[in-house]
Amino acid sequence: MTTTGKGSVYAKLGVRPIINAQGNRTVMGGSAPTPEVAKAMEDAADVYVEMEELLERSGEFIAELLGVEAAYVTSGCSAALTLSTAACMTGRDTDLISRLPNTTGMKNEVVLQKAQQYTYDRSFTIPGATLVRPGDEDGCTREQLEAAIGPQTAAVAYLISANESDSIVHLEDVVATAHARGIPVIADAAARIYPLDYFRGNAQSADLVCFGAKYIGAPQSAGFVCGKKDLIDAVVDQGFIGFQTGGGHAFGRPMKLDKQEIVGVVTAIEQWFTMNHEDRLIGYEERLSVIKDELKGVAGVESELEQVDQYYVTSLGVTIDTETVGKTAQDVADELDAGSPRIWVTVAGDDTISVNTHTLNEGEEFLVAERLKTALGG
C-alpha cells in the first residue's frame, strides 16, 4: 500500500491519528516539533559526530541560556530524575556506578515530603534508592523534614508546582535545610518553562533541576537536567555513553538518545527563548474562541476560558448539564474518540470537559468545534 501526505505513515500501519486537544501527553506522543526543530533534526540525521562532544557542547549551550553551571540532555524528565538520583548516590566512583541498583554501603535514601508524593516519584527509586516521606498527606513541617535527613540521605527531592500548598516546606527552605547538612536537592520542574524568567529561576533553584523538553517543542523522548557542575559531571558518568567514556558499567545505558534528539532539544530551547510568546499565547486563545463561539446557544452547555497553570496557557472549560444533554463528560469524550479523525479532550469531572489548543495544528480548532457541538447535541 502506497500512501502520501501528512501522517501517511500511520495509515500504512493502520494507526489512527488523533487531534490532540488535551496537551503534551506521553500517551499521544508528547509533542509535535516545530518546523525549525524538525529541519534541524533532519540535517543532523545522516552526519556522525562524537556523542561525548555533542553532549558536552549542547549542555554548555543550555547552561548559558539558563544561567546555570552545567546541563546535560537526557531521554526525558523522568530519566533526568533517575540519573540525578544515581549521581547523588555514587558520585563519580566507577565501582559504585557499576553496582547500581545495588546500593549496599552507599547513602541511598531520598527524602520527599509525603504531601508531595506523585506518580513520577518512582523515578527516584529506579536506581536503587529508598524514599523517605516526612509529614503526611496534609503537609510537612521544617522540623519533620530535618528529622528525616540522616546518615543514609543521598538527596532531598522536591516537586516544583504552580500552586504550592502553604502546608509544605517550600523549595527555598528545603534547599537551606538540606545544604545545612551537606545534602544536595533534586527538583522536578518538568513543565515549569514559562514565563522565561520563571524558567530560569527554576533552573537555578536547586543543585539538580530536571525538565521535560517536549513542553518547548523538542522531541517527546527528550529532557535535560541542569545545575551544579560537579553533580552534572556525575550525571554524565551515569549516562548512556558512560560505558565507553566513564570507565564504569553506567546505569543509564538503556536511556539512550540519538544525535537528532539532542540537536532537537538545543534548537527548541533556543527558539523558546527567542520567539514572541505574546503572539503564541494570543494564537491559542483565538483558537479557543472559535470553539467557545461554536458552543454558544447549545442547551445545557456553558463554557469559560480558564488559566492552565501547568503550561501558563488558557484552556476552555466546558460544563455539561447531564440531564439536559443526556450525556456525561466521559460519554462526550468517548464519542469524540470514536469518530474519524479521533479527537481527545480532557475529562475533568462527570460534567466537565477541558479543551486545550496549544497542541492543535492550524485549522483543527474548527473541526474540534464542529464535532464537540454535535456530540453535545447542538
Question: What would the pLDDT profile of 220-253 be if each residue is shown by its tens digit?
Answer: 899 999 999 999 999 999 999 887 776 568 889 9
Residue 308, pLDDT above cutoff 80: no
Please confirm whether the linkage preceding 341 is cis (ω < 30° from 0). yes
Residue 1, pLDDT above cutoff 60: no
Confidence (pTM): 0.92
Q: Which of 227, 250, 274 is the last residue of a domain?
A: 274
Tell whether 90 is covered by a domain. Answer: yes
- The CATH number covering residue 311 comes to 3.90.1150.180
Segment 283-306, tens digit of pLDDT: 999 999 999 999 999 999 999 998
User: Is 95 strand, coil or helix?
Assistant: helix
Radius of gyration over every alpha carbon of the chain, rounded to an integer in angstroms: 23
> Strand 208-212 relative to strand 223-227: parallel, antiparallel, unpaired?
antiparallel
Tell whether 155 is covered by a domain. Answer: yes
Q: Which of 259, 274, 289 is the last residue of a domain?
A: 274
Tell whether 329 is covered by a domain. Answer: yes
Q: Which of 220, 250, 274 is the last residue of a domain?
A: 274
Phi and psi (nearest 5°) for 136?
A: -140, -170
Position 362, amino acid: E
Q: How far is Cα 116 from Cα 300, in angstroms, rounded to an integer? A: 37
CA distances from 59 to 71, 115, 224, 323 (A): 4, 33, 9, 55
Q: How far is Cα 161 from Cα 40, in angstroms, rounded to an integer? A: 32
Neighbours of 13 (CB within 10 A): 10
pLDDT interval class at 354 (50, 70, 90): very high
My answer on whether 108 and 204 are in the same domain is yes
Residue 131, pLDDT above cutoff 90: yes
Neighbours of 331 (CB within 10 A): 16
Q: How far is Cα 359 from Cα 361, in angstroms, rounded to an integer? A: 7
**186's grid cell:** 533534586
Number of domains in the chain: 2
Per-residue confidence (pLDDT) for residue 173, from 0 to 100: 97
pLDDT average, residue stretch 327-354: 95
First to last CA, the chain: 39
My answer on whether 150 and 223 are in the same domain is yes
Q: Which domain holds residue 96?
A: 35-274
**Of 93, 138, 130, the residue nearest 113 (C-alpha):** 138
Tell whether 1 is covered by a domain. Answer: no
Q: How far is Cα 269 from Cα 213, in angstroms, rounded to an integer? A: 8
| Higher pLDDT among residues 9 and 207, named by residue | 207
**270's grid cell:** 533556543
pLDDT interval class at 28 (50, 70, 90): confident
Residue with cell 496534609: 138
My answer on whether 62 and 211 are in the same domain is yes
